[in-house]
């Protein structure tokens, strides 16, 4: 009878110890979960703020160009760098399904820009 009680009490202590360990792990996991939720909310707010900032910057770019136009310093029959960049955007092969003429003109404009 004594051995049975001793074994039962030993098993009971071990089980209680294991339950206490699991409770502690659960508390730690709960703290980690709460911290993760707080961080996710903070990141969500930051993403919203950045989206609004991007929208504002896009609107400013659309209505108020950030760069002032450079004066035309090129001689007669010559293009400025800004004009070459505009021409390049107009004839770029990506906008013309890779046509040979667009590729040829793009190469010439790139040579002029160099």
Over residues 13-30, the pLDDT tens digits come to: 999 999 999 999 999 999
Query: Looking at the predicted structure, is the pLDDT value of residue 3 above 80?
Result: no
Could you give the CA distance from residue 79 to residue 111 in angstroms, rounded to a whole number? 12
pLDDT at residue 62 in the model: 64
pTM of the complete model: 0.36
3-class SS letters over 15-58: HHHHHHHHHHHHHHHHHHHHHHHHHHHHHHHHHHHHHHHHHHHH
The model's pLDDT over 55-102, given as tens digits with 9 standing for 90+, comes to 888 877 665 555 555 555 556 678 888 888 888 888 888 888 888 888
pLDDT at residue 111 in the model: 86
Sketch the domain layout of the chain as residue ranges: 8-66, 69-114
């Amino acid at each position: 009878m004594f051995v049975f009680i001793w074994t039962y009490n030993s098993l009971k202590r071990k089980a209680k110890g294991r339950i206490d360990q699991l409770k502690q792990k659960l508390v730690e996991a709960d703290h980690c979960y709460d911290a993760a939720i707080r961080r996710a909310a903070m990141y969500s707010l930051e993403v919203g703020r950045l989206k609004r900032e991007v929208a504002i910057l896009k609107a400013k770019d659309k209505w108020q160009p950030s760069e002032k136009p450079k004066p035309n310093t090129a001689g007669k029959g010559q293009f400025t760098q800004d004009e070459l960049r505009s021409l390049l955007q107009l004839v770029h092969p990506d906008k013309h399904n890779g046509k040979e003429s667009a590729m040829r003109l793009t190469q010439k404009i790139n040579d002029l820009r160099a």
